[in-house]
């Protein structure tokens, strides 16, 4: 069972009050995965926002027709962090594939339809969470920029 304390500490739900967290708690379930399991594949419909409860999840850009590899990892998501935020943003498709990167991982899944219905009733909760989501997206974008810069620097230094 998901604890309210864990939800409260999650980056995506920071700033929500106890009543709002209790409501969101109703829309949560937990799924468990083993190392290498695909949680979502790129292009799949996303019906849940996910938060890593235990373990680590790797987000990868897998090339069509090729098997996955750790070298395709764009970002690693540790405990308490959210992923599959594309479930809240049209067209609701996974932009990257996600894999269990630890021996096991537990994922909290929050049902998108229920969450959006709640936000229609409680606009303040929706505003707070979507503001947090914007921060998550910005952080991931900056990390991606840093990774691209590192790779280009490495190629510039060692390709001649």
Averaged pLDDT score across all residues of the chain: 92
Q: How far apart are CA 78 and CA 141, in angstroms?
A: 17
Site of tokens 């309210």: 4
Q: DSSP string of 80-142?
A: T-EE-GGGGSTT-B-SSEEEE-SSEEEEEEEEHHHHHHHHHH-HHHHHHHHHHHHHHHHHHHH
Q: How far apart are CA 65 and CA 125, in angstroms?
A: 42
The residue ranges of the chain whose pLDDT is under 70 are: 160
Residue 109's DSSP bridge partners are 29, 50
Q: How far apart are CA 96 and CA 42, in angstroms?
A: 5
Q: What residue spans define the domains of the chain?
A: 4-112+124-158
Token pair in block for residue 50: 């996910």
Dihedral sign of CA atoms 44, 130, 7, 80 in order: positive
What is the side-by-side order of every strand in the sheet holding 57-60? Answer: 38-40, 97-100, 57-60, 73-77
Per-residue confidence (pLDDT) for residue 100, from 0 to 100: 98
Per-residue confidence (pLDDT) for residue 21, from 0 to 100: 97
Q: What is the pTM of this model?
A: 0.87
Per-residue confidence (pLDDT) for residue 160, from 0 to 100: 62
Class of domain 4-112+124-158: mainly beta
Per-residue confidence (pLDDT) for residue 134, from 0 to 100: 94
């Amino acid at each position: 069972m998901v604890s309210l304390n864990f939800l409260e500490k999650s980056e995506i739900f920071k700033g929500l009050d106890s009543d709002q967290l209790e409501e969101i708690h109703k829309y949560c379930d937990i799924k468990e995965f083993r190392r290498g399991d695909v949680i979502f594949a790129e292009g799949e419909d996303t019906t849940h926002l996910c938060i890593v409860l235990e373990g680590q999840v790797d987000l990868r850009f897998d090339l069509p027709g090729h098997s996955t590899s750790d070298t395709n990892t764009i970002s690693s998501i540790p405990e308490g962090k959210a992923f599959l935020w594309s479930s809240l943003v049209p067209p609701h498709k996974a932009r990257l594939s996600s894999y269990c990167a630890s021996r096991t991982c537990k994922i909290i899944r929050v049902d998108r339809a229920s969450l959006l219905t709640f936000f229609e009733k409680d606009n303040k909760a929706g505003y707070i969470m979507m503001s947090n989501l914007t921060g998550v997206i910005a952080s991931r974008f900056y990390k991606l920029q840093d990774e691209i810069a590192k790779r280009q620097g490495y190629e510039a230094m060692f390709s001649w």
